[in-house]
Amino acid sequence: MEYFVQQLINGITLGSIYGLIAIGYTMVYGIIGMINFAHGDIFMVGAFLALIAFLVLVAIGISAVPIALLLVLLISMALTALYGWTVERIAYRPLRRSFKLAPLISAIGMSIVLQNYVQVAQGARVKPLPPLVRGGYTLFEGNDFAVRLSNIQIIVVATTLLLMAGFSFLVARTRLGRNMRACEQDLKMAALVGIDVDRTISLTFVIGAALAAVAGLMFLLYYGVVDFFIGFLAGVKAFTAAVLGGIGSLPGAMLGGILIGLIETMWSAYFSIEYKDVAAFSILIIVLIFLPTGILGRPEVEKV
C-alpha cells in the first residue's frame, strides 16, 4: 500500500511533465491538423536553455535559489518560445498549402536539425546538475517504507496546475483564445471574419513552446540530467498522452499526461523497468486502434 502510494505520487509528477508537453501537440494538431514532430525537441531545447541560464546566473552571482529559478523560468520560456516561433516560420508556414504529408516530413527534418544543433553546440555528453531543491515531507510510514513527497514534486505539480489554470483562462476568455478556437473550427472561415490566421498559428506555437520550456525546466530539476536525445522519447510519450486524452482537447492532454505517467511508473514498479517504453508505445497503438478519438476528444468526420 505504502509502495503504491509512493508510485502514485511519482507517477503524477512525471505525468504533469508529459501533460505540459502534450498541450503543445494538442493545440497545434487542433488548429492546423499536423503532428509537430519537433515539439519533443523543443522541450529538450527548453531544458538545455534552462540549464545554461541557471549556470550563467550562478556565474554572475545570483545564486539565491528561488530568485534564480524564477529568472531561469522566464528566460527559458521566452527563448524557447522564440525557437517555437522560428521553427513554425521556417519549416511549417511555407507548407500550409502543400500536400498533406509535407508538414510532417518537414517536422521530422526539423527534429533532426534541433537534436544535432544542440549536440554540435553543447556536446553529446549527459549534463548533470546538482539538485537545487532539496527536502520534502514524510507523509506516513508503515511496513518499513516511508511515503515521501519531495519539495520538487510539489513544485512540479503546483506549477503545472497554475499554468493549466492560466492557460485555460487564456483559451476561454481572451481575444487570442477566441481566435484560436475560431481557427480550430475552420481556418478559412476564421480568415474571412478578419482573424489574422498566420499570427494566431504563430502564437499557438509560441505558447506551446513556452509550456514545453516549463516542462523542460521541471524535467531538469526532477531528474538532474539532460542530454540532446531526451526530446525523442518524451515527445512520443507526450504525443501518446495527447492522443489518449483526445487530441484537440486541453483537459484531455493533461489527463492523458497523468495517465501515461502513472502507467509508466506503475509498469516500472510492478513489472519490468526494461519494458516501460514498450508499454508506452503499446498504449499508443492500442488507444489509436480502439479509441481513436481519445477519452475527451470529439469524433472527427472526414469530409470530401
C-alpha of 188 from chain center? 28
Contact between 127 and other proteins per CB under 8 A: yes
Contact between 274 and other proteins per CB under 8 A: yes
Strand pairing partners for 149?
A: 137
Contact between 205 and other proteins per CB under 8 A: no
Instruction: Say how many Å lie between the first and final Cα of the chain, rounded.
Output: 54
DSSP E strand boundaries for the chain? 127-128, 136-142, 145-150, 225-226
DSSP E strand boundaries for 75-169? 127-128, 136-142, 145-150
Three-state SS for 101? Answer: coil
**DSSP state letters, 171-220:** HHHSHHHHHHHHHHH-HHHHHHTT--HHHHHHHHHHHHHHHHHHHHHHHH
| Integer CA distances (angstroms), 86 to 38, 90, 110, 202, 209, in order | 12, 6, 11, 9, 11
Contact between 45 and other proteins per CB under 8 A: yes
Contact between 131 and other proteins per CB under 8 A: no
Contact between 113 and other proteins per CB under 8 A: yes
Q: In the bound complex, what is the minimum distance in angstroms from residue 169's beta carbon to other proteins?
A: 27
Contact between 220 and other proteins per CB under 8 A: no
Cell of 242: 495527447
* Residues that contact other proteins, how many (by CB under 8 A): 67
Q: Decide whether 162 or 278 has the Cβ nearer to other proteins.
A: 278
Q: In the bound complex, what is the minimum distance in angstroms from residue 114's beta carbon to other proteins?
A: 8
Considering only 143, 188, 299, 302, the residue that binds other proteins (CB under 8 A) is 302
**Which residues within the stretch 47-106 sit at the binding site for other proteins (CB under 8 A)?**
48-49, 51-53, 55-56, 59, 75, 79, 82-83, 86, 90-91, 94-95, 98-106
Contact between 144 and other proteins per CB under 8 A: no
Q: Decide whether 99 or 144 has the Cβ nearer to other proteins.
A: 99
Cell of 36: 509537430
Distance CA(168)–CA(147), nearest Å, equals: 32
**Which residues within the stretch 243-272 sit at the binding site for other proteins (CB under 8 A)?**
243
Contact between 228 and other proteins per CB under 8 A: no
Q: Are 19 and 257 in contact (CB under 8 A)?
A: yes
Q: Decide whether 99 or 138 has the Cβ nearer to other proteins.
A: 99
Going by C-alpha positions, the residue among 4, 11, 1 that lies closest to residue 259 is 11
Distance CA(276)–CA(265), nearest Å, equals: 8
Q: What residues have CB less than 8 Å from 51, skipping those under 6 apart?
A: 127, 129, 220, 226
Considering only 22, 23, 28, 35, the residue that binds other proteins (CB under 8 A) is 35
Considering only 65, 109, 145, 192, the residue that binds other proteins (CB under 8 A) is 109
Contact between 130 and other proteins per CB under 8 A: yes
Q: Decide whether 8 or 104 has the Cβ nearer to other proteins.
A: 104
Considering only 20, 203, 250, 284, the residue that binds other proteins (CB under 8 A) is 284
Q: Decide whether 97 or 188 has the Cβ nearer to other proteins.
A: 97
Q: Are 20 and 237 in contact (CB under 8 A)?
A: no
Binding-site ranges for other proteins (CB under 8 A): 33-35, 45, 48-49, 51-53, 55-56, 59, 75, 79, 82-83, 86, 90-91, 94-95, 98-106, 108-113, 115-123, 125, 127-130, 232, 236, 239, 243, 274-275, 277-278, 281-282, 284-285, 288-289, 292, 302, 304
